[in-house]
Structure 1
Amino acid sequence: MLSNSLYALRKRLAIPQTSIQLSILGLLGGIAAALLIVVFRLAIEFIQETFSAGGPFDSILDYLLPTLPIFAAILIAIFADITGYKHYRLGIPFVLHRIKAHYGNMPFWNTANQFVGGILALASGFSVGREGPSVHIGASGASYFGRWLRLPHNAVRTLTACGIAAGISASFNTPLAAVIFVMEVVLREYKIHIFIPVMLASSAGSIITQAVFGQHIEFAQLSVFTLPGSHYPWLILLGIILGVSAYIFNTNLMRIIRTFRYVNMFPRLLLAGVLTAIVGYFVPEALGDGTSAINQAMISPTNLELLVILLISKLFLTLVAIGLGIPGGIIGPVFGLGVLIGLIVANLVMLIDPSIHFMGTYAVLGMSGLMAASLHAPLAALVAVVELTNNPAAITPAIIVIASAYITSSQGLKNRSIFLQQLDFQGLMYQTPPATTVLEKIGVLAEMDTNLKLINYVTEQDVRFHLNDKHESQWLIVAMKHDLGVDYSLAEFDTSYSRNNDKVKYTPLLTMDTRSTLAHVWELIKDQRDGATLITSTSGEKIVGIVTWEQLRTILMNRNALL
């Protein structure tokens, strides 16, 4: 009974339509992802409290704190060595690749490296964000849930997207921005049957993080006020500056990555730890995910010298940490850099219009503009700043800044998303042909023909007998046993000859299990533009259906618009 129910569930999920089954599974996958993020955040807080004033290392704190990035870098390298350096592909770019090329199936040891390395990096003060680990860990949690149920790959891909949304939402308490980020940056498409489960998973992440960490607004200290129309020309200027800054940031980050590509991981990570420790000793506010820099900047928003020092230090530490391979995200530091740039521009504007209460507004706009231009995620940036500040007054000016920054960066300076640049550098695929994009959303269970007749090959005359005896719409599959196993062929009369000759045509058939999608079938038979593929049970022991080239052609020609 249970196996029949699971089969019915898998068959329903193979269809790319909104369903209560997929919605419930998306919610459960989101809960699994959110719980992992809660454990991740609690582990970071535990380590930070251990090394804080009043902790067990209080007596040697002044000597220990500056060296934490070095010790963390060594531990990250040791763990990566134990698990295998080949599993040290982490973060959002890697998740983008797995979503596009592997239906979101996440390798375990990559996730382990991200989990442990992310905790060490964030707890020790490296200038990285927690959204990178959150995306990776959240994707893995939901992906493992789908694989445990042996769901079709197209459904696992949707569950992985749910895990990403739940991970971001649980990390920042931004459920709407998490949904937009998944659609705009990760999936890079908007499909209604994916929207609902992703929304439910994101809400689960927000509810769980609020239950554990309280109703905390990440950047509530950034006071946003409605700007008068006289400031709008300055907003365009701010956007242009942010677009140029995004280009400088992305270009230099990729330059560092390319420069150190042939350096072994251990010296790279150790160098990142040493440089972070040195700069952090003199400018401790530049350490961390960007929150400390933002807090310090908002305490003294008119101290231009402090803002410039923080900006240079934060930029250097971020480029060093991410460029040399520290496992963390990029969005947190980008927020910090954007706030600093916004405040510097606000100080220049103040020379003309001394309205100090607008400083927080410019800080928020800087944050949104730099994120949009660096990541090529304008809508996610807009929604994120509204949720992170809990203030909708920034929407209209943010649109102006984001549009100016994005156009300046992408069109004026030909700056591409930093994630896509990283993927190109690593040689990881993130684009699929149009036919594959359509077919990968449909599981073979949704389209396979189950009207089969399976026989073992005895003689040619026996095959002809079964061809004459079968129903007109039935497929005859011939199993040919040999020493190495069994080969399957599709048997039919060769229409190029007279029917009276009874000449039999055998088309060899490859097999794949019921978790596969039509894109898998397409890859097998697209070259000959003919034939079919046999579908087996997940164990491979039972033939359950067949998918033909004609079915694929019909979907691509007649139903593409419906998908």
Structure 2
Amino acid sequence: MLSDSLYALRKRLAIPQTSIQLSILGLMGGIAAALLIVLFRLTIEGIQNTFAEGGPFDDLLVYILPSLPIFAALLIAIFADLTGYKHYRLGIPFVLHRIKAHYGNIPLWNTVNQFVGGILALSSGFSVGREGPSVHIGASGASYFGRWLKLPHNSIRTLTACGIAAGISASFNTPLAAVVFVMEVVLREYKIHIFIPVMLASSAGSIITQAVFGQHIEFEYLSVFTLPVTHYPWLIILGVVLGISAYVFNTNMMRVMKTFRYVSMFPRLMLAGFLTALVGYFVPEALGDGTSAINQAMTAPTNLELLLILLASKMFLTWVAIGLGVPGGIIGPVFGLGVLIGLIVANAVLLLDPSSLYMGTYAVLGMSGLMAACLHAPLAALVAVMELTDNPASITPAIIVIASAYITSSQGLKNRSIFLQQLDFQGLMYQTPPATTVLEKIGVLAEMDTKIKVINYVTEQDVRFHLRDKKEDEFLIVAMKHDLGVDYSLTEFDTSYSRNNDKVKYIPLQTLDTQSTMAHVWELIKDQRDGATLITSTTGTKVVGIVTWEHIRTILMNRNALI
């Protein structure tokens, strides 16, 4: 009875349509992802409180704090060595690759490396964001349900997207921005049957975050006021400056990666730890995910010398950390850099309008513009800033800044998303042909023909008998057993010479299990543009259906626009 229910669930999820089953699973995956992120954040806070003033090491802080990045880098390297450096591909670029090329199936040890490494990096002051580990951990946690239930791969990809949304929402308490980020950056498409489960998972992440950490808005202290129209020309200038800054940031980030690509992981991590400790000793506000830089800048927004020092230090430390392989995200530091650039431009505006009333507004706009230009995620940047500041007054000015920053960066300077540049550098696939993109959304369970008859090969005369006896719309499959297993063939009368010819034609069949998608079938038979693929149970012990080239052709020719 349970197996029948699971089979019915799998068959329903193979269809790319909104369903209550997928919505419930997405919600469950979102809850699992959010709980993992809460554990992740609480562990970081626990470690940071241990080394804070009043903690057990209070008397030794002056000696311990400067060396924390070095010690953390050593632990990250040791743990990566123990688990195998092949499992050290982490963060958002790696998840983008797994979503596109492997339907969201993420290896366990990569996730363990991300969890442990992310905790060590964030708690020790490396200039990385927590959204990178949150995306990776959330994706892995949610997709586990799909793998455990052996759901079709197309639905596992959706559950992975749900985990990403819940992870971001649980990390920043930004449910709407999390949904937009998944659609704009991760999946790069908007489909209703995916949209609903992702929204539910994101809301679960936000609710769980509020239950544990309170209804706290990340940057609500940034005062945003409605700008007069006379400031709009300055907003365009700010956008241009942010677009140029994004180009400089992305280009130099990739330059660091390429320079050290042939250096082994251990010396790279240790160099990152040493440089972070050195710069952090003189400019401690530049350490961390960007929050400390923002806090320090907002205490003295008109101190131009301080802003420039923070900007240079923060940008250098981010290049060092991300470029040398420290496990962490890039969005947190980008927020900090955007605030600093926004405040620097605001100081120029002060020469014409001697009022500091709008300093917080320019800081917020700098945050949104730099994120849009660096990540090529304009809508996610707009929504994220609105939610992070809890102030809709920034929407219209933010649109102006984001548009000018994005156009300057992408069209004027040919700057590409930092995630896509990282994927190209690592040689990880993130694009698929149009036919594959359409077919991978549909599970074989949704399309396969179940009118099949399977017989064991005895004699050819026996095969002829079954061919004459089978129904007109039925497929006859012959199983030929041998020492290494079973080979299957689709059989039919060979009518190439004469309609009365009773010669049997055997068409070898490759097999796929019920988790497969129509894209898997396409890969097997696309070259000959003919034939079929046999579908077996997940254990491979039972034949359940067949998918022919006609099924593929129908989807691509007649239903492409509907998928």
Q: How high is the TM-score relative to the length of structure 2?
A: 1.00
2:88 corresponds to = 88
Q: In percent, how many aligned pairs have the same letter? A: 86
Instruction: For 2:297, give the aligned amino acid.
Output: A
2:526 is the counterpart of 1:526: yes
**1:493, distance to aligned residue in structure 2 (A):** 1.2
1:456 corresponds to = 456
**1:496, distance to aligned residue in structure 2 (A):** 1.2
Equivalences for residues 42-57 of structure 1 within 5 A: 42-57=42-57
1:132 corresponds to = 132
2:233 is the counterpart of 1:233: yes
**1:464, distance to aligned residue in structure 2 (A):** 1.0
- Runs of 4+ residues over 6 Å off in structure 1: none
1:277 corresponds to = 277
Instruction: For 2:320, give the aligned amino acid.
Output: V
Q: Is the 8 A contact 1:382 1:398 kept in 2?
A: yes
Q: Report the more deviating stretch, 347-356 or 120-129.
A: 347-356
Q: Is the 8 A contact 2:174 2:206 kept in 1?
A: yes
1:8 corresponds to = 8
Equivalences for residues 394-413 of structure 1 within 5 A: 394-413=394-413
**1:497, distance to aligned residue in structure 2 (A):** 2.3
Q: Is the 8 A contact 2:346 2:362 kept in 1?
A: yes
Q: Secondary structure at the match of 2:274?
A: helix
Q: Secondary structure at the match of 1:500?
A: coil
* Separation of aligned partners in 1, 2:355 and 2:478: 83
Residues 159-189 of structure 1, C-alpha deviations (whole Å, 9 max, x = no match):
0000000000000000000000000000000
Q: Secondary structure at the match of 1:363?
A: helix
Q: Is the 8 A contact 1:122 1:130 kept in 2?
A: yes
Q: Is the 8 A contact 1:177 1:383 kept in 2?
A: yes
* Separation of aligned partners in 1, 2:552 and 2:104: 23
2:437 is the counterpart of 1:437: yes
**1:350, distance to aligned residue in structure 2 (A):** 0.5
Q: Secondary structure at the match of 1:547?
A: strand
Q: Is the 8 A contact 1:222 1:361 kept in 2?
A: yes
Q: Is the 8 A contact 2:513 2:540 kept in 1?
A: yes
1:194 corresponds to = 194
Q: Is the 8 A contact 2:364 2:385 kept in 1?
A: yes
2:222 corresponds to = 222
2:545 corresponds to = 545
* Separation of aligned partners in 2, 1:32 and 1:168: 13
Instruction: For 1:169, give the aligned amino acid.
Output: S
* Separation of aligned partners in 2, 1:266 and 1:500: 73
Residues 339-381 of structure 1, C-alpha deviations (whole Å, 9 max, x = no match):
0000000000000011211000000000000000000000000
Q: Is the 8 A contact 2:495 2:501 kept in 1?
A: no
**1:59, distance to aligned residue in structure 2 (A):** 1.1
Equivalences for residues 504-515 of structure 1 within 5 A: 504-515=504-515
1:291 corresponds to = 291
Equivalences for residues 103-142 of structure 1 within 5 A: 103-142=103-142
Q: Secondary structure at the match of 2:29?
A: helix
Instruction: For 2:64, give the aligned amino acid.
Output: L
Q: Is the 8 A contact 1:272 1:326 kept in 2?
A: yes
**1:8, distance to aligned residue in structure 2 (A):** 0.3
* Separation of aligned partners in 1, 2:291 and 2:364: 13
Equivalences for residues 133-172 of structure 1 within 5 A: 133-172=133-172
Equivalences for residues 284-363 of structure 1 within 5 A: 284-363=284-363
2:98 corresponds to = 98
* Separation of aligned partners in 1, 2:494 and 2:352: 86
Q: Secondary structure at the match of 1:492?
A: strand
* Separation of aligned partners in 2, 1:468 and 1:145: 46
* Separation of aligned partners in 2, 1:494 and 1:128: 65
Instruction: For 1:314, give the aligned amino acid.
Output: K
* Separation of aligned partners in 2, 1:316 and 1:203: 36
Residues 356-411 of structure 1, C-alpha deviations (whole Å, 9 max, x = no match):
11000000000000000000000000000000000000000000000000000000
Residues 496-554 of structure 1, C-alpha deviations (whole Å, 9 max, x = no match):
12121211111100111100000000001101111100100111110000000110001
2:557 corresponds to = 557
**1:50, distance to aligned residue in structure 2 (A):** 0.5
Equivalences for residues 248-287 of structure 1 within 5 A: 248-287=248-287
1:77 corresponds to = 77
* Separation of aligned partners in 2, 1:87 and 1:529: 38
* Separation of aligned partners in 2, 1:501 and 1:32: 61
* Separation of aligned partners in 1, 2:385 and 2:47: 29
Q: Is the 8 A contact 2:494 2:501 kept in 1?
A: no
Q: Secondary structure at the match of 1:501?
A: coil
* Separation of aligned partners in 2, 1:483 and 1:213: 61
* Separation of aligned partners in 1, 2:193 and 2:216: 31
* Separation of aligned partners in 2, 1:343 and 1:21: 48
1:516 corresponds to = 516
**1:459, distance to aligned residue in structure 2 (A):** 1.3
1:474 corresponds to = 474
Q: Is the 8 A contact 2:441 2:517 kept in 1?
A: yes
Instruction: For 1:193, give the aligned amino acid.
Output: H
2:486 is the counterpart of 1:486: yes
2:378 corresponds to = 378
* Separation of aligned partners in 1, 2:260 and 2:165: 32
Q: Secondary structure at the match of 1:511?
A: strand
1:25 corresponds to = 25
Instruction: For 1:512, give the aligned amino acid.
Output: L
Q: Is the 8 A contact 2:279 2:313 kept in 1?
A: yes
Residues 50-93 of structure 1, C-alpha deviations (whole Å, 9 max, x = no match):
01111111111110000000000000000000000000000000
Q: Is the 8 A contact 1:334 1:371 kept in 2?
A: yes
2:513 is the counterpart of 1:503: no
* Separation of aligned partners in 1, 2:497 and 2:387: 70
Q: How high is the TM-score relative to the length of structure 1?
A: 1.00
* Separation of aligned partners in 2, 1:504 and 1:365: 72
* Separation of aligned partners in 2, 1:495 and 1:133: 60
* Separation of aligned partners in 2, 1:209 and 1:254: 34
* Separation of aligned partners in 2, 1:294 and 1:162: 30
Instruction: For 1:547, give the aligned amino acid.
Output: V
Q: Is the 8 A contact 2:152 2:514 kept in 1?
A: yes
**1:481, distance to aligned residue in structure 2 (A):** 1.3
1:63 corresponds to = 63
Q: CA RMSD in A?
A: 0.5
2:424 is the counterpart of 1:424: yes
* Separation of aligned partners in 1, 2:33 and 2:72: 25
Q: Secondary structure at the match of 1:54?
A: coil
Residues 432-487 of structure 1, C-alpha deviations (whole Å, 9 max, x = no match):
00000000000000000000000111111111111110000000000011222110
Q: Is the 8 A contact 1:513 1:538 kept in 2?
A: yes
Instruction: For 1:440, give the aligned amino acid.
Output: E
* Separation of aligned partners in 1, 2:495 and 2:348: 81
Q: Is the 8 A contact 1:497 1:503 kept in 2?
A: no
Instruction: For 2:163, give the aligned amino acid.
Output: G
Instruction: For 1:293, give the aligned amino acid.
Output: A
* Separation of aligned partners in 1, 2:483 and 2:207: 58
* Separation of aligned partners in 2, 1:24 and 1:355: 52
Q: Secondary structure at the match of 2:189?
A: coil
Residues 8-67 of structure 1, C-alpha deviations (whole Å, 9 max, x = no match):
000000000000000000000000000000000000000000011111111111100000
